[in-house]
Structure 1
């Protein structure tokens, strides 16, 4: 589905980003793995090795997407390595959860810098090379960007902002054959959800009509659809992967 395409996934050394990277590689894409700090290099290199074992090309590039110039270097490095950029997945993100009255200015600023400004940085720098070839931009939002959540004012704001970025990008570049869409995951099985108590899990499941958590492959499959030509007439959409939790 992605043969001949080059994809960059930010924050792709683990979790959803890693699964998206592997899914893209299995479908023929050459992949750029991004990591933000030196201590995560080995993790990113491990993903590169897994991708190469699948027969695809891959490289790991360090960049803090919240830094405008590092984001530019990330895009430039992708072009230098593979000659073009067809798919950008803005996946890098952090949480600094805290109730509003306890949330610090730093908690707010850090989340907005990476989750929101990082997407602006990468999208701005990726758009120009994509003008030559067309492309697909996929932004990783969240259901909390649609409905909010207690203790996640900063995270919810960043994910809601991503929806605005997605729709504006889609409108600006539709005539240039560049599509922009967002994915809004709900409860996805992860190291974090494994730490939840049975009581919390039961409470969460009561709000999910399908009565189960999703997994990272569920999200990666939607990303694959949006990256591929199967979604060539889809832009400006927010696709929930949440088992019906928000509808």
Structure 2
């Protein structure tokens, strides 16, 4: 389904090579935005996403940037600033998991998840504000229902996503006067690599708890990101939009 064109600006999508990030990159390209697919390590997946967007008639480039590396994030924004067009949207969809009970969780597992999911969101959000301070724009952070209701065995992940929710609300109030909107989408169980790594029995048990009776397709989350990024949500900021089949209702 071809979307109504938002404008001819640029969308920078961190974690845009796979899963929800890739679906968001493809959807924003369908809206007429030139998409920069930022990735940490999987260049093959990033280039595949770029090829898919171009074959569908969109514009896209791939850009390596580790969200844990402050200098790398700054470099990504410098590269985008050198491109033709105005940065309209930044999507933060980078994320990792390292599940385990807190009492036996290593400090490394805790730090890796917090550094990527939360500190990475800080790095990206800070540079987004600097880049958009004169033009306005939209920042969309990908959170999780685990950030709304903490899950056992996910103390690090739940803390990182709960932090994203609080960051979203705080930053939205700070930058509203600059014409910058900040929102988060909180997906529930979604058909991504992260979910597929789960034990099949556990995956089925979780799916059975969802009122709609199934997991989400990444594009269903991408539609929510499109809404938060685009003009239809021009009076929406500081919100956490759950896309979870009713599990947090």
TM > 0.5: yes
Q: What TM-score results when the alignment is normalised by the length of structure 1?
A: 0.94
Query: 2: distance between equivalents of 1:147 and 1:9?
Result: 26
In structure 2, relative to structure 1, the CA distance for the partners of 1:103 and 1:131 (3 Å cut) is same
Equivalent of 2:176, from 171, 174, 177? 174
Query: 2: distance between equivalents of 1:82 and 1:106?
Result: 41
> Are residue 27 (structure 1) and residue 27 (structure 2) matched?
no
Retained in 2: the 8 A contact 1:84–1:129?
no
Superposed structure 1 runs of 4+ greater than 6 Å apart:
none
Displacement of 1:197:
5.2
Equivalent of 2:122, from 120, 123, 127? 120
Displacement of 1:63:
0.9
Retained in 2: the 8 A contact 1:13–1:47?
yes
Retained in 1: the 8 A contact 2:92–2:121?
yes
In structure 2, relative to structure 1, the CA distance for the partners of 1:192 and 1:63 (3 Å cut) is closer
Q: How many residue pairs get matched?
A: 245
Query: 2: distance between equivalents of 1:176 and 1:130?
Result: 8
Find the counterpart in structure 1 of residue 158 from structure 2: 156
Q: What TM-score results when the alignment is normalised by the length of structure 2?
A: 0.94
Provide, for residues 168-217 of structure 1, a one-character-per-residue CA deviation record: whole Å limited to 9, x for no partner: 11000111110000000011123443455564344323422111111101
Find the counterpart in structure 1 of residue 51 from structure 2: 49
Q: Which runs of 5+ in 2 are unaligned?
A: none
Query: 2: distance between equivalents of 1:192 and 1:126?
Result: 27
Provide, for residues 66-116 of structure 1, a one-character-per-residue CA deviation record: whole Å limited to 9, x for no partner: 111111011111111234311000110111111112210010111111101
Moved more, 43-52 or 108-117: 43-52
Provide, for residues 10-32 of structure 1, a one-character-per-residue CA deviation record: whole Å limited to 9, x for no partner: 01111111111011111111000
Retained in 1: the 8 A contact 2:9–2:85?
no
Find the counterpart in structure 2 of residue 87 from structure 1: 89
Equivalent of 2:22, from 14, 18, 37? 18
Provide, for residues 109-152 of structure 1, a one-character-per-residue CA deviation record: whole Å limited to 9, x for no partner: 11111101111111111212211211000000000001111111
Moved more, 88-97 or 76-85: 76-85
Find the counterpart in structure 2 of residue 239 from structure 1: 241
